[in-house]
Structure 1
């Protein structure tokens, strides 16, 4: 029995291996799930995926994997997006972020977007995803660190920023420039340093825990209720993946980081608790 998990900035592979005995692969791009099925896994866990500089994981390859009897679970980042989009077809979502998307409380891809380092750098996060900002501000309000009014104003300021420029220091500095209460912002700065909520990491760990619980014994192959259509686009994707490898010296560099297109519909409201 084999399990495969795609992760990177949301959760380091070494952290994942402490929770789940699985093959951990870098953030997925289009074709990677199709390619992973050559290892004949019983289940795939999609956490992180690449977006802008390369083609994102295709819905079609997830549908194909499930039609081949493979369980596909998603959460935290790209996995949460795809799970919400394909829940009606049988992809299983895990975690709070998935629930926010699946219930329609969030819609925009940029909510999980972040800038991160290269594979050699361990995909180290270089910006703060909007979902983490939402979760941290909600926690700060619950603890009485900030008011609900300040929470809402900070959400507007954070959402207005380009995803790659979202980080706590510039966000708090911008809030000061806009005249938000200095006392609350000072208190929030301390709260962030000691109690910042990494919702993506929490959801990624939860996904691994679910996979460990679900796939520890004999596994029944995934059964789907749809007919998988073998389209020209699907064959083209397969042809690209199955093509002989081009020698590395003639290939362009693989983009070091990526994130979703910033399709933003301004959402300043706090999420329901």
Structure 2
């Protein structure tokens, strides 16, 4: 079956292929999902995507794809954001990050934003996603490494950092400068080294596993009940997508 997965920083194509046989494409920019849907895949999985200097994958192209009978799944990163925003229309979200956005527990795009190198450098991370920081802090509290007050304080510090500057060293430095317990921080530093939680990665694998199970059970064409309107804005996106190739993924930031 023809399946397309947009992934990059969160999950590599080689890792994904061990779970699900699919066409793995780089993170999606605006128009990429529309172009993928033109090939009539059974399903599209949206994990990673561009933002800031490149227009992000649009809601309208996801709606158009579903209107063509294509199932669209989202998780982990911009996929979780778009799935939460479009779940009422039939986009299917997977994983804890999606659930947090759908419930309103998380609202900000910067929760999943990270800075990475380009594909040739293996999407080497320069920052840590806020959702991963939160998940690791919560795991440390659950195991007794951190108390609730310290966990809450560290989470507050992390959220206050600009997304491109969010790293574990930056967080520990700020914690030390504000006088948090040194022994407790050392214990937490060891916890991060050994038990860091990569929630984005976990959710990405869950998307692939969910999609594989759905395909094995039989996945008929997507049935939609919403009306799709061909607005001027949509025509602009569509025409630009058909006229412009996907951008070079070198040195962009990803959601």
Q: Same fold (TM over 0.5)?
A: yes
Check if 1:257 corresponds to 2:222. Answer: no
Contact 2:119–2:250 (CA under 8 A) maintained in structure 1: no
- The count of residues paired between Structure 1 and Structure 2 equals 255
Q: 2:72 aligns to what SS in structure 1?
A: strand
CA distance in 2, matches of 1:217, 1:88: 23
Equivalent positions of 1:31-42 (< 5 A) are 31-42=31-42
**1:53–1:255 contact (8 Å) kept in structure 2:** no
Structure 1, residues 60-80: CA drift from partner, whole Å, max 9, x if none?
Answer: 000000000000000000000
Q: Which residue of 1 aligns with 2:47?
A: 47
The answer on whether the counterparts of 1:35 and 1:241 sit within 8 Å (CA) in structure 2 is yes
CA distance in 1, matches of 2:10, 2:239: 31
- RMSD of equivalent CA atoms: 1.5
| 2:185 paired residue number | 185
2:117 corresponds in structure 1 to 117
Give the secondary structure class of the aligned counterpart of 1:8.
coil
**Structure 1 unaligned spans of 5+:** 247-251, 261-273
For 2:49, what is the secondary structure of its paired residue? coil
List aligned pairs for 1:58-207, cutoff 5 A: 58-207=58-207
Q: Are the aligned partners of 1:54 and 1:255 in contact in 2 as well (CA < 8 Å)? A: no
1:207-218 residue pairs with structure 2 within 5 A?
Answer: 207-216=207-216, 218=218
Superposed CA deviations along residues 185-213 of structure 1, whole A, max 9, x for unmatched, are: 00000000000000000000000000100
- What whole-Å deviation, never above 9, does each CA across 1:191-236 have from its counterpart, x for those lacking one? 0000000000000000000010001254311011111101111111
Q: Give me the TM-score of the superposition, normalised by structure 2.
A: 0.96
CA–CA distance in 1 between the matches of 2:218 and 2:248? 41
Deviation at 1:254, TM superposition (A): 5.3
Aligned runs of 1:14-25 on 2, under 5 Å? 14-25=14-25
More helix by share: 2
* Structure 2 residue ranges without an equivalent (≥5): none
2:199 paired with 1:231: no
1:65-104 deviation digits (Å, cap 9, x = unpaired): 0000000000000000000000000000000000000000
Tell whether the 8 Å contact from 1:118 to 1:124 is kept in structure 2 after alignment: yes
**What residue number does 1:264 align with?**
none
Q: Distance in 2 between matches of 1:3 and 1:101?
A: 25
